[in-house]
Structure 1
Amino acid sequence: MSRRRHLVLETIYDPDEVGNGPADLDLVLVHGLNGDYEKTWTHEKTKVFWPRDLLPKKQPHTRVLSFSFNADIWGNTSVAGIRENARALLATLSDEREELEENERPIVFLAHSLGGLVVKQALCTASIETQYLPIAFATRGLMFYGTPHAGAEQDRWLAIAKSFAPLAPPARGRSRVSALVEALETNSKDIAGICEDFRCRARNYAIVSFFETFAWPGTSSTIVGRMSALMNLDHEDQVPLDAHHMDLCRFESERDPAFKRTYLRIKKAAKGNLSNGGQAGAGMGGGVTYNQYVIYGGQPPKAV
């Protein structure tokens, strides 16, 4: 059995490679805990991998990339390594957009569960590091599926850690709480800081937050409840889905209502936060592109 690759950005669909011309949008998928670049987005019964099997039919000019990182619950420090994984995401995405004309191609990030924290940290880093500024400027929208947004309240993060326990019960022969819960509790202060740092940048992007309405099988509660899955921003699109935590971003077929809600919001998110000008980098450089930002020496052009 071949070893699964980590810290790479897999190309799921490239319109240029199939004769549909250059891409006009990069959709970047980021999985969560116990997921990977493919199975997180694949329906268990129908085996439909919607980023490859469904989305290109609706959006043939959208390039789809999926980030792969070690998110196994046991035997690694994936939760503690949010900052490291975020930096790897930026590095791999930057490599895929190295041509000058690619700097201005809009980006929409689509993240499941704690993968949303990796995206948040990545954008916080990108906004202050010169080499990654093109990504910060090009990002138009963020779509979160069951991502906990607990802000800076460490006590709430401790409660969220316990809610994830059903996803990773203790291994056979172990009576202690799962490694996932321990990691979340240990790093709750750090994770809370990431969420608080991102909140002041959230107005730069269109924000879509999907939340689960089905309890986790065998329990009477959701993994990430509505109050945790929402940022409660004025421009946030809050969308309930009839699914439990792991099925939020898996779609049975093209007729699945949840898939329709997803691809329509990808189109909207690609336009940016319309209440903030709807342009990439609107909150960073006055709505200018990265190339204009460089030309004007790090300042937005003066109004004519």
Structure 2
Amino acid sequence: MKPGRSKRLSAIIAVHGLSGSWRTTWSAGASDDPAIWLRDRLPAVLARINVRPRIRAFGYDSSYVFTSSTSDLESCAEDLLTRIRIARQTEEEKQAPIVFVAHSLGGLIVKLAINLAHTDNEYHQDVLERTTGCLFLAVPFHGADAASWAELASQIVSSLSLGMAGNPELPNALKRNSKKWTKISSDFVQRGKNMTFRSAYETEKMGRSTIVDEASVRNNVPNERVFPVPGSNHRNICQFSDNENERFGPIGLAMVEVVQAALDG
């Protein structure tokens, strides 16, 4: 990097999954002073390629979105698009490439948001033109099999049992919505063909098996690389303490690759 060269801005938008939030999904360590890698580690990683990230977390009530109809999921995706527009007010922000980071079922919201942006492409032209890639962390695809979607989603609920798993309506909702979830992922294959993707899968079991394995995360889109995160299960694949360099290494590299693709594009 040449001395005095200004850093380029990149918008990083984090979307949590079931039972998640900004503090619980992306943080590790003591609850009173958690290590949040998006805030504490990512800026230094991207500084190596002369990028200054503007990191924002999209919060929503997953207990409502994933237990209700897919129309509620659509409303959540629309809200995500709206909040992106609100956040991009200055000329610098409008020119900044957008990269999504999503965990688990939060990836469905990202995929649906991109699908909806294509449907209303005139209004969401900025998002379509500037969204350059995604880092998916244990985000299931299963675009060809609705039955697999329902089964996998139920496993995710069990693995993330933080209160929502006790909701008796949740398993039925997952099964009821699985066909529409299949369509979201199938449509995304076409919508995301010009983006760069990195899809991470877990390597450690929760209970008797891994929840989202290598086969489950493949989106079957161009410019995708699928990789493992050693020592990670479905819950902690998005959580890294300050000294977990071995686990964090593949995540940091994936973020550099996705953001670098935006700079080179």
Unaligned 5+ segments in structure 2 are: none
Q: Does 1:109 align with 2:97?
A: no
Counterpart of 2:34 (choices 47, 52, 58) is 47
Match of 1:5 in 2: none
Give the SS at the match of 1:186: helix
Bigger drift between 161-170 and 239-248 goes to 161-170
Q: Is the 8 Å Cα contact of residues 102 and 136 (structure 2) preserved in structure 1?
A: yes
Displacement of 1:228: 1.1
Unaligned 5+ segments in structure 1 are: 1-19, 280-304
Q: Does 1:94 align with 2:85?
A: yes
Q: Does 1:37 align with 2:50?
A: no
Q: Distance in 2 between matches of 1:200 and 1:159?
A: 25
Deviation string, structure 1 residues 211-238 (Cα, Å, up to 9, x no partner): 011111xx11122222112224453111
Q: Distance in 2 between matches of 1:78 and 1:40?
A: 24
Displacement of 1:80: 6.1
More helix by share: 2
Counterpart of 1:224 (choices 212, 217, 220) is 212
Deviation string, structure 1 residues 79-119 (Cα, Å, up to 9, x no partner): 76221111111000111113344322111100000000100
User: TM-score by structure 1 length?
Assistant: 0.74
Q: Distance in 2 between matches of 1:170 and 1:259?
A: 24
Match of 1:300 in 2: none
- Which is bigger in relative contact order (C-alpha 8 A, separation at least 6)? 2
Counterpart of 1:136 (choices 128, 133, 142) is 128
Displacement of 1:37: 1.9
* Aligned counterparts, 1:56-205, within 5 A: 56-60=43-47, 61-72=52-63, 77=68, 81-129=72-120, 130-167=122-159, 178-205=168-195
Q: Distance in 2 between matches of 1:79 and 1:170?
A: 22
Deviation string, structure 1 residues 42-73 (Cα, Å, up to 9, x no partner): 01458211111222223351111110001137
Number of aligned residue pairs? 252
Residues 169 and 42 (structure 1 numbering): CA distance in 2 closer, same or farther, change over 3 Å? closer
Q: Distance in 1 between matches of 2:204 and 2:109?
A: 25
Q: Does 1:248 align with 2:237?
A: yes
User: TM-score by structure 2 length?
Assistant: 0.84
Q: Is the 8 Å Cα contact of residues 207 and 269 (structure 1) preserved in structure 2?
A: yes
Q: Distance in 2 between matches of 1:41 and 1:186?
A: 29
Give the SS at the match of 1:267: helix
Deviation string, structure 1 residues 136-189 (Cα, Å, up to 9, x no partner): 1101111101111011421221221332242366979x7xx8433222111111
Q: Distance in 1 between matches of 2:244 and 2:55?
A: 21
Larger radius of gyration: 1
Q: Is the 8 Å Cα contact of residues 118 and 124 (structure 2) preserved in structure 1?
A: yes
